Amino acid sequence: MDRLEPEDWAGEMGERWLAQLDRFESMISPVGDALLARAAFQPGERVVDLGCGGGATSFAIAEAVAPRGHVLGLDISAALVQEATRRGALGGSTT
């Protein structure tokens, strides 16, 4: 198997993830939920979500740190960042 390079995620792999975003997010949500519970974010915190994908985790963190907190979602895939931005404009809706 070929080694997956970071630039793969910035291109083809990111596009593939985006094409199946709802499916992938639902598959990994139990892990994300457990990690969010363990992190125990508090109102007012500032958080960087590395590898934010389509933004589902960033939106969950934003709810936890509201109203004065802030979340910055970063991802190597421009397509996924665009989708997270679109969802954010819709109020953080992931559907």
Cα Rg of the chain (Å, integer): 14
Q: What is the pLDDT of residue 55?
A: 94
Coil, helix or strand for 46? strand
Domains of the chain: 6-89 (3.40.50.150)
Calculate mean pLDDT across residues 52-70. Answer: 95
Distance CA 63, CA 78 (A): 24
Task: Kindly report the average pLDDT of the chain as a whole number.
Answer: 90
- Flag the least confident range among 11-15, 65-69, 70-74: 11-15
Distance between start and end Cα atoms, the chain: 34
Angle between helix 21-39 and helix 56-65 axes, rounded to 10 deg: 30
> pTM of the predicted model, to two decimals?
0.84
